[in-house]
Structure 1
């Protein structure tokens, strides 16, 4: 996300960056060739660049206000297509932020599944560190000191991986993941009840495909080379023709041609083959 704003008659460009490891946003501000570098807050980025441009050390701006995040209209527009709003959970003195959810039938995960993501901050080896908890094929736990990964482990259940790190032993791993929180359970139930089933008969139903895109693809931030994302379904799915025969895609044709080549030239292509054959 990028925002342009005018401060003291100069145009400032602020960009929000996504750290794919820690899942924490960072900020960068540019103006007249001056660059704040990557900062941990919008205020730090804007004020850093402002001081470089105007050489004023006393002026301070609120990054959230400059970016318009105090404007109700802007906030409503940003939230218009958001399917899940992060849930903040307090356990003892620990703040857990559940920022993404996904569902499964795995009993040890209490309904949570691939796509689930939560974070908390607590001490690791004597230093305040960021704990990133996620579920994909397995449950994952990563510990970061800044951007440096200090620890990684994965297991079948949240309880299993939290027992192995031997921290916060009085809490269950599922509680530290935030999964068993009542609000999170409600959201998991909603997602389960609203989950969409799509068969090959639905590939021309653009409304249903749009719902699937918003729920399953857009939220995961999967990069697509297609300007029309729906081509992912049309080009990459296994389909049949009107005679119910499988459609051969480019990959299938390549395999077919390669087999024909090996039959024709069992010893490989040589120069004299071009003349004899």
Structure 2
């Protein structure tokens, strides 16, 4: 029996997402050592995060979801498409409602409903927004592994997903706290804001695991839903931010980062899953 197998699937999801949250906090802790972050380095970080999420969406979510849909006698392509589009639609709706501000933009360019919230809060909410599907993905992965009957859905695969999400959370934590420090926040306050962006992951992870365990027929949809939400974040937020304002070799770093991130996640999932 492995360490994870002694826990229930919901406990496994909580442990996995607490790990991803803790890595976010570690990344945010870089603010105690640096006051600014080079744009080229940030581009590479965002590209890496995008690559990890793209690979995880297929290897850890869509492929097992399609396999389970087939085993349940569902029309696999239809189940995957519906779940995938619902995931993207959910993030689209939240994106239009939740006030948030992307890095590098003026407060007047904040998205969502109009609010008088401080710029710092809006910046944190932007990262929090795409931590929701990350936590959900880890929770659903552990829930899928608990079913014990899905090709490719294993505890090892869920652990690989948690590790991959954790790896890309490290630069995300830094990408929140360090810009806040540059804007005049104290190191402690910038760190607290940065790590706070990851708190939503354990919540989403536990809810995702509970949903698929207690309502097993929705599992293929849930896996595709998480994948759609993650891809939405990559296309709507990570890639544009990595390419904003800079050109030439500086944006090439983001592309290289994405390739490396995809490869790392693919290796983790194939080797461990």
Q: TM-score, normalised by structure 1?
A: 0.25
Structure having the higher Rg:
1
Instruction: Name the structure where helix makes up a greater proportion of residues.
Output: 2
Q: TM-score, normalised by structure 2?
A: 0.25
Instruction: Name the structure where strand makes up a greater proportion of residues.
Output: 1
- The structure showing larger relative contact order (alpha-carbon pairs under 8 Å, at least 6 residues apart) is 2
